Amino acid sequence: MNTTLTPSRNEPASRLQQKQSSAPAAQSDQTNTMNYKAWVAKAPKQPMALESIDLGPLGTEDVEVAVEHCGLCHSDLSVLNNEWGISQYPAILGHEVIGRVTAVGPNAKGLKVGQRVGVGWNSASCMHCHQCMSGSHHLCPEVQATIVGHRGGFASHIRSHWAWAIPLPEKLNFAEAGPLLCGGVTVFAPLAMYGKPTDRVGIIGIGGLGHMAVKFAAAYGCDVTAFTSSESKFDEAKGFGANHVVWSKDSAAIKKLGARFDLLISTVNVKLDWDAMISTLAPNGRLHDVGAVLEPIPVPAFSLIMQQRSVSGSPTGSPVVIERMLDFASRHNVAPQTEHFPMSKINEAFARLESGKARYRIVLDSDF
């Protein structure tokens, strides 16, 4: 079966005019193209099916990547099930892509055929707005999510604007690196923005995001406290680099911590005793949320005002921040703890993720 998605499903409308028939020919590796397959979701909460797909012509500023590995993120599950109400079907999920460039548009910069790159949560942005021009491409009003209105990485090949295909440091373990491109940069970005090596940092939730946050904060030099609702993860959290571990369901124990933390990074998508958590912030401390909590987070105003505390949040990161994170991970040997499935077992991998049994990130290895 052949699934055809229109060009507007593959890139922002503002870039469609760049595809002119008179444009110079793209550079490509003909041996790796023209045989495109993908695991396609046709409807919410339904198994994905392997299909042939038509990627259409390569955009003049785009690159094509042959997928070698692709991480499975909880946001893939959320988009599959349309939990956020933004999903578009048919959907090709997967946004933690590791692979080799097989084709380069004539106006693409800095990449060449055969180069190994990574593509994360975003795959394009307008490249001319204030946010893009100031280095915050991930905040562009036209930023293109890789798995919403675009073909993602659970496929033989993926397309991306050249700026969002990030060259990988040679010292990285490429088979394990996929989760760094979404989960990794999501927790690294607030640490880089707001943390210092001398800080006391708390990480709320020791799962797919949280275990990488602990590793990054420990490598950064912080005194790290891990908050987890699972007592079975206490020893694992210390193994990831946590100096202290606290049971997140024990409000009394949390309140005893006092005004301790310079930075709290919350990675969970469930309701917490937020008042107790905010009370653990030191003066000028910050609670930073990267977990997709669907319920509002109650914030007591006087708890912020009297101690000059802040509450904030962020998405993933710009191409420059992703590059910086990968460099940091390479130098400090920060890598996610992963389980591997062949991509042909994608539905079984989704079931394991949904069951909560994954430890701690799942990576799908291409076997087309």
Instruction: Give 107-155 pLDDT, tens digit per residue.
Output: 999 999 999 999 999 999 999 999 999 999 999 999 999 999 999 999 9
Strands (E), 35-93: 37-40, 49-54, 62-72
On the question of pLDDT at 164 being above 50, the answer is yes
- The single residue listed with the structure tokens 């124990």 is 253
Under the banding of pLDDT at 50, 70 and 90, the label for residue 3 is very low
C-alpha angle 205/315/334, rounded to 5°?
Answer: 55
Under the banding of pLDDT at 50, 70 and 90, the label for residue 27 is confident
**Tokens representing 200?**
């006391």
Identify which of 291, 256, 119, 197 has the alpha carbon closest to the alpha carbon of residue 247: 256
In eight-state DSSP terms, residue 306 is T
Under the banding of pLDDT at 50, 70 and 90, the label for residue 21 is very low
* Per-residue pLDDT at 293: 87
Its pTM stands at: 0.91
* Per-residue pLDDT at 271: 86
Beta-bridge partners for 342: 365
Mean pLDDT across 242-255: 92
On the question of pLDDT at 32 being above 70, the answer is no
On the question of pLDDT at 61 being above 50, the answer is yes
